[in-house]
Structure 1
Amino acid sequence: MHNAATQASLAGRRVVVTGGARGLGAAFVTALAAAGARVTFGDVLHEAGAALADSLAAQGHDVGYVPLDLAQPQSIHAFVENAAQRMGGIDGLINNAAITNSGGKLAHELSVQTWDAVMNVNVRGTWLVCTAAQRWLADSGHGAIVNIASDTALWGAPRLLAYVASKGAVIAMTHSLAREFGACGITVNAIAPGLTEVEATAYVPADRHAYYLEGRALRRPQVPDDVTGPVLFLLSEAARFVTGQLLPVNGGFVMH
């Protein structure tokens, strides 16, 4: 019987991360590398992605960057195949990449183009990455997927409708994929972070930050390191019998 530390180890695990060039994605990539995992990540931010990969590789970590545009199905398939070939397979997948675009607008102010862009990246893109990686994850014998949702889909954040709807779809998709992929031994779970202090949330008004801070059971700002631990746990052997679950990670702002 392995002890808990051994079960939670990610040493040598081959993990793919989408949207890994900055913010939460970069935190996931960095934490995985520190845990001894082999990582391939993708992003549309080519300079930032290449710089992060070079920095971590210079520290002796096995980390590679591959360009990825979730709005383009052919880019998704090329990314997954490239990652699998680079690492000799895939053991874990973090679906982190997403766009907001709808921030600040009321429901009737949204354009169809904005709605479609958010859905294409956040929902269709997540689905296509999962299906492209499925055979590799099944072959690994301990495949694990963690989808990054958002607690905005749990409390119904206003003026963010397209994003909230897309993250609600990711949560629902997680449940269905867990049942489908369970047949080949793949776990599929979702994390719903709260408002995290990263570059991508710099646009969020100060009153929304204050609303979160005041509503949390743990009254402090949320930082990327608050989210990396739960995600790495769900990728590990310690979570092999956990699937189809949603874990809010938001300091108790939403209790699910």
Structure 2
Amino acid sequence: MNTSTTRPLDGRVTIVTGASRGIGAATARALHRAGSAVVLAARDADALNALAAEIADEGGRATAVPTDVTDAGAVDRLVRQTLDTYGRLDAACNNAAGGGHPPTPLADVAVEDFDSAFAVNLRGVFLAMRAEIPAMLESGGGAIVNMASTAGLQAVGGLAGYVSTKFGLVGLTQTAALDYAEAGVRVNALAPGPILTDQLERAGEQAQAAAAQAMPMRRIGSPDEVADAVVWLCSDAASFITGAVLPIDGGKLAGMAPFSRTRPAKTPVAG
């Protein structure tokens, strides 16, 4: 069996922020299955410890480091503890997100709500990369995957804080990719569409069905589908990819799906 295929991240060390649930937790599990040690960061220490224990029970290596990504000192400590524990840093998935506001017309958005989205979704990723990149350079290079959103490529009304920070995250990702391409650090972003995370689960079946029907594939995505893309971008299979933004959206950004739900007729083959 080709272990480079089945465990493409063997021997590597990866930080995952926002690892306590949803896409972050699924990503940590996928990285573990791919052979990487994982350093789990989020504010929920109990959830991190439970996930670390789960990975350890499966024979993996995982370390929980409770971290507030809006705190520069805490982010620096996260990376230092990674190096102290494992001696290297090869990859990172900057997935932590939060703050912001419910759908609200822009002129009615409270300044503090906008600032909270900026602090986590954009400044938090800046702080993470600022600490992660020097550690990766010491290890000879690495890969970073930032979690953007389709809302970072196509605006959504009423979400000024979320949309603007995700658009900014795309620009931040591409700037970092250009700054460190020659040094061997690749930086890419994922742009998930509707994914069945805790928030969409809480919204209920009706909201989930509506989201599914709005997608050309007529379904919503799973956290595991996003996690698999993170693993691929962190692996050598993506070694010539940097500065890219990969939608995982069931075709949402491709355009408008056909009005008819029936399959198009096959075109006859000439000859």
Q: TM-score range by the shorter chain?
A: over 0.9
Q: Tell me the distance in 2 between the aligned counterparts of 1:58 and 1:156.
A: 42
Pair 1:251–1:8, CA change in 2 (3 A)? farther
Aligned match of 2:186 = 187
Instruction: Answer yes or no: is the 8 Å Cα contact 1:7–1:237 preserved in 2.
Output: no
Instruction: Answer yes or no: is the 8 Å Cα contact 2:79–2:135 preserved in 1.
Output: no
Q: Tell me the distance in 1 between the aligned counterparts of 2:3 and 2:77.
A: 36
Aligned match of 2:269 = none
Instruction: Answer yes or no: is the 8 Å Cα contact 2:42–2:65 preserved in 1.
Output: yes
1:47-196 matched pairs, under 5 angstroms: 47-196=46-195
1:87-131: CA deviation from partner (whole Å, max 9, x where unpaired): 111000100001043122221221111111110111111011101
Aligned match of 2:196 = 197
Q: Tell me the distance in 2 between the aligned counterparts of 1:93 and 1:114.
A: 27
Question: Which runs of structure 1 show a deviation greater than 6 angstroms over 4 or more consecutive aligned residues?
Answer: none
State whether structure 2 residue 13 is matched by structure 1 residue 14.
yes
Deviation of the 1:5 alpha carbon: 4.9
The number of residues matched between the two structures is: 254
User: What RMSD over aligned residues (CA atoms) do the two structures have, in Å?
Assistant: 2.1
Pair 1:179–1:7, CA change in 2 (3 A)? farther
Normalising by structure 1, we get a TM-score of 0.92
Normalising by structure 2, we get a TM-score of 0.87
* Greater radius of gyration (CA): 2
Between 1:211-220 and 1:136-145, the stretch displaced more is 211-220
Pair 1:88–1:195, CA change in 2 (3 A)? same
Percent of aligned pairs sharing the same letter: 33
Deviation of the 1:246 alpha carbon: 0.5
Q: Tell me the distance in 2 between the aligned counterparts of 1:211 and 1:122.
A: 26
Deviation of the 1:222 alpha carbon: 1.1
Deviation of the 1:159 alpha carbon: 2.0
Equivalent residue letter for 1:84: L
1:131-184: CA deviation from partner (whole Å, max 9, x where unpaired): 101111112224000000000222211222201111111101111110001131
Unaligned runs of 5+ in 2: 256-271
Deviation of the 1:209 alpha carbon: 4.0
Instruction: Answer yes or no: is the 8 Å Cα contact 1:8–1:237 preserved in 2.
Output: no
Q: Tell me the distance in 1 between the aligned counterparts of 2:53 and 2:21.
A: 14
Deviation of the 1:203 alpha carbon: 5.4
